[in-house]
Amino acid sequence: MRQAILPILVFLSLGAAGDPYPKDVFRSPLGIDLFLSGSFGEMRANHFHTGLDIRTNGQTGYRIYAVADGWVERIAVSPTGYGNALYVNHDNGYQSVYGHLERFEGALADYVRSAQYARRSFAVDLAPERNRFRVLKGDVIAWSGNSGSSGGPHLHFEIRDAATSRPINPLLFGMPVKDTTPPRIHALRAYPLAHDARVEVTRGGRTTRASHGGSVDIPLVGAGPRRLAPAAGITVRAYGRIGFGISTNDYQEGSAGRLGAYTVRLDADETTVYRHEMEQLDFALNRFLNAHVDYSLQRRTGQWIQRSFLLPANDRLPIYETRDAGVLEFEEGVDRALRYEVADAAGNTVDLSFTVRGASAPPASVAPTPSIPVAWKRETLVEREGIVLRFPPGALYEDIDLRYEATARPPGAWSRAHRVHDDGTPIHTPIEISLDLSDVPQRLRRHAVVARAGSRGGAVSEGGRVDGDFIHASSRSFGTFYVAVDTTSPSIRPINVSNGASMAGAASIRFRIGDDFSGVQSYEAFVDGEWVLFGHDAKTATIEHVFDGRITRGRHTLELRVVDAAGNEARYSATFTR
């Protein structure tokens, strides 16, 4: 098998490096025109999107075709994520991935169902022996669906380097996606990056200022076809170390959705200081999306601003080419000409040009003394009454001055509330939170969890492991934490079955299951004492057994058991006839 050679320096332009991607090997995975609802490198919560989301006209059940000759290397079934997913390895060293499927082709479906019954689990991750399921280009391998964490019927499609599992932008392989529409730039922001840095934006006699730790918006207007500039009358002044960022999206005719752009480049005085290119990504580094964007702004407003400078820890994503990490220096009396260019994978572009005037240095100020300094490179242990926090190296993207406050016990809590920093600061590697259990009776400790107050009321369970008088949990969010006790059993609601019901004309048995706090951890169902397969759709909180001949005609007894993450159990039993 020929191993495809992929570029190591992925920021090189395809024109300079030569086009390494075959354009005539892979066919479309669908038999309909390709319109996208999601693109490669598009920004999602805590990750970059690693493939193409292809619209299926709001329907499920379209044939999915193997894009080239190969063999099925992996089959995964999950109530979340990609749902029903198929992974095909190809003889040229690439792998194609098909997610959110409705069902698999017959032989594959039989193989999966046998494994589910053998393992007594709906969720499986299978690796058939090589060439057990050989496929040819154009073979039907599955049908499109809406399984897993899909927000609507579509096909999630990826191309990966089979040796490393790194996803590569499928549009680089000549996928038949028509695109003559340029990207758009929606917003521009400036970020002072040192204690003596500042930015001022003046318009109509009114000035908006930002200092270290803040940012300021620079209003934009169109300046011609595919060009933008600051709005009329805008003057931008800056001093010290400054970074910039933009909100930008790509578009495609025939599709109203906002997509991710392929490249973003920032030039200062005709020298490129920042460039990123969405050619390849790395699943192990995908959470660095939270350093790539203005995380705090996105949490507050929903706006995605992509930084054109790197935070200290963000030097590992395989998308960047920078000069001085994209940070610019401004001094009094020296103006600098800046220009952004944004391009999509089809080569359509939009640009934004603006001038920043050098401002005078601000009055000297004393940097605030941090109460609890936490460095991103080193492990930090923070101990206060009733709480211990451990920050492993790499938990943060930059050094922070940690804010902490103990507050009164919330209603229903079993400890004081511990307000740890704010949820506008992202966490990369989970931090460990240990809370005192002294006030929790021994009989309840097995049901104890670490709770984090929700931003809109209520609370989220972070789970927990009890060890003596402390409970330990991991979290990737700052917030307010306290000890809670979950003694409420999960809920089981029959949808189409009841005790004594006739199911002779039904195609399946369905339930809705849920838990109001710690979450459903497991479920299992038995008919006449034998385990039966119930599929799980997490987004609708439903489980379903599709009658497949295993349950014969006659009278049967059904038993269902659901357990939550705090160990509480619910049971349901009924008799029915087929």
CB burial readout 452-486, b (16+ within 10 A) else e: bbeeeeebbbbbbeeeeebbbbbbebbbbbbbbbb
Query: In the predicted model, what is the mean pLDDT of residues 161-173?
Result: 97
- Provide the pLDDT for residue 225: 75
Mean pLDDT calculated for residue range 12-24: 63
CATH topology (fold) of 373-485: Chondroitinase Ac; Chain A, domain 3 (2.60.220)
Q: List helix spans (H) across 236-372.
A: 289-292, 295-301
Q: So what's the pLDDT on residue 2?
A: 30
Alpha carbons 194 and 213: distance in angstroms, whole number: 8
Q: Which secondary structure element, helix H or strand E, spans residue 119, and what is its range? A: helix 106-119
Model confidence at 553: pLDDT above 90: yes
Q: Evaluate whether the domain defined by 491-577 bears CATH number 2.60.40.1220.
A: yes
Q: Check pLDDT > 80 for residue 126.
A: yes
Average the pLDDT over each of 186-190, 268-272, 367-371 and give the range with the smallest value.
367-371
Confidence of residue 6 (pLDDT cuts 50, 70, 90): very low
> Among the listed ranges 333-347, 348-362, 408-422, 454-468, which one has the minimum average pLDDT value?
454-468
Distance CA 321, CA 315 (A): 10
The chain-wide mean pLDDT, for the chain, equals 94
| 106: confidence class by pLDDT, cuts 50, 70, 90 | very high
List, for residues 202-232, the tens digit of each pLDDT value: 998 899 999 999 999 999 998 777 999 999 9
Amino acid letter for position 174: G
Pairing of strands 336-343, 508-514: unpaired
Q: Is residue 156's pLDDT more than 90?
A: yes
Q: Considering only 117-121, 256-260, 346-350, 500-504, which range has the smallest mean pLDDT? A: 256-260
Residue-wise pLDDT tens digits, 341-354: 999 999 999 999 99
Q: What are phi and psi of 518, to 5 degrees?
A: -75, -15
H helices of 229-314, in order, are 289-292, 295-301
pLDDT higher than 80, residue 18? no
Answer yes or no: is pLDDT of 12 > 90.
Answer: no
Q: CA 99, CA 471: separation in Å to the nearest integer?
A: 38
pLDDT in tens, 426-479: 999 999 999 999 999 999 999 999 999 987 778 999 999 999 999 999 999 999
Going from N- to C-terminal start, the domains of the chain cover 14-173, 184-358, 373-485, 491-577
């206060």: which residue's tokens? 384
Structure tokens at 16: 């300079």
Q: Does domain 14-173 have CATH number 2.70.70.10?
A: yes
Entry pTM: 0.93
- One-letter amino acid at 202 equals T
Longest Cα–Cα distance in the chain: 90
> Rounded CA gap, 460 and 423, in Å?
13
- Cβ-proximal residues to 330 (8 Å cutoff; 6+ apart), any chain: 238, 239, 240, 242, 336, 356, 358, 359
Give DSSP secondary structure letters for 22-72: -SSS---SSSS---EEE-TT-EETTEE--SEEEE-TT-S--EEE-SSSEEE
Q: Does residue 9 surpass a pLDDT of 70?
A: no
Provide the edge-to-edge strand list for the sheet that holds 530-532: 501-502, 569-577, 555-564, 520-527, 530-532
The pLDDT of residue 11? 34
